[in-house]
Amino acid sequence: MYNNEAKFSLWCDFIERDFIDGELLNLLNHGVINGATSNPAIFKIAFSSGKSYANSVQSATRRHPKEIYELLATQDIKMAASKMLKNFASDDDGFVSIEVDPHLANDAMHTIQEGVRLYNLIKMPNVMIKIPATKAGFEAMKELMAQGISVNATLIFSPDQAQGCLDAFKTASEIYTKRFPNTPLPKGVISVFVSRFDRLLNEGLAMAGLPKNQVGIMNATKIYHIINDTGLPNVRTLFASTGVKGDDIAADYYVRELMFANSINTAPVETIEAFIKSPAQPKTPISKESIDVFFSALKSKNIDINLAYRKLLDDGLKAFVTAFDEIMASLQ
């Protein structure tokens, strides 16, 4: 872990074939990161910029684009998972996440089928199946974890979404324990997206005379308290979408401000590079009372946080679908 005393982990929010054998391995060996994540948007960047994929694509031209995508993606995830087996064996995270087809966000049955299939294709114990936190997603999370598959619940913006994930993980853990007593529970992370709130709301906050770049931190901390209070031993908060846009705040702002005990921060490479340039200490989370006061102030200025929750989830789902479709088109 990046900080053993606080059990604070830092994961890399990028996967690409040459990167796995280069910078990712270097970050692992120096104890900077102990996990990694991917999603369709990340693979879109990797496939379009990584020269090492050309031969694999060329040799698989007669396959359906989704088959080619899964071939490339599962190869990369397996490579990364192999590099992290030492971490996993030491109970130091060591997980790599792969997301199901984003078109399945509202289809529980096919999400479950695809999650199981991807897990079996990769055949690594330290793989997490990433599932969007929709109503169908909660059902899929429950079933996969009950089967012993670790899950990364993604695109969490609201406390209600986080609670849905917690309910799914709690039920799944109970089912798994009955099936396989005295065996380690599969792990779950609840990926709370952070910076997108501020990019959406900063302009309105400034007009209302409220401080900018605070909603993401406050909302993420509120959800962190909910997850910690539930006390599931195999579930942790993962702070995601922690890169910044623009130069009005430090590049590692969302990592330093959310360096809480028993949490994970998954960040882009450039954010990690900025973060490790100077020492950082764990932070005490903002109190629940202060968070309530903050959100009351938003409401008094007619800033609708529930509308933001819905918009950001819709935008996130659409963005992953768009990235996935663009990958499919490029592999035709």
- CATH fold group of domain 9-330: TIM Barrel (3.20.20)
Taking alpha carbons only, the member of 288, 168, 282 closest to residue 218 is 288
Rounded Cα gap, residues 145 and 122, in angstroms? 17
**Over residues 169-180, mean pLDDT:** 98
What single DSSP character describes residue 191? E
- Put simply, whether the predicted model's pTM sits higher than 0.85 gets the answer yes
Name the phi and psi angles at 36, rounded to 5. Answer: -155, 155
Rounded Cα gap, residues 15 and 280, in angstroms? 25
CB 82 within 8 A of CB 43: no
CB 239 within 8 A of CB 263: yes
Long-range (24+ apart) CB contacts under 8 A made by 280-283 are 280/252, 280/255, 280/256, 282/3, 282/5, 282/6, 282/8, 283/256, 283/257, 283/258, 283/259
Question: Which regions of the chain does DSSP assign to beta strands (E)?
Answer: 9-12, 35-36, 95-99, 127-132, 150-156, 188-193, 235-240, 263-267
Q: Where do the domains of the chain lie?
A: 9-330
Mean pLDDT of the chain: 95
Name the phi and psi angles at 136, rounded to 5. Answer: -65, -35
Q: How confident is the model at residue 54 (pLDDT cuts 50, 70, 90)?
A: confident
Q: How confident is the model at residue 92 (pLDDT cuts 50, 70, 90)?
A: very high
Q: Would you call 130 a catalytic residue per the annotation?
A: yes
* Sign of the dihedral defined by the CA atoms of residues 249, 155, 236, 88, in that order: negative
Q: Looking at the chain, how many residues does it have? A: 332
For residue 216, pLDDT beyond 80? yes
Q: How confident is the model at residue 177 (pLDDT cuts 50, 70, 90)?
A: very high
Q: Which of 78, 83, 130, 142 is catalytic?
A: 130
Instruction: Output the six-digit token pair for 212.
Output: 């900018």
The pLDDT tens digits for 106-159 are 999 999 999 999 999 999 999 999 999 999 999 999 999 999 999 999 999 999
Q: How confident is the model at residue 39 (pLDDT cuts 50, 70, 90)?
A: confident
Check residue 154 and give its pLDDT.
98
Residue with tokens 């114990």: 125
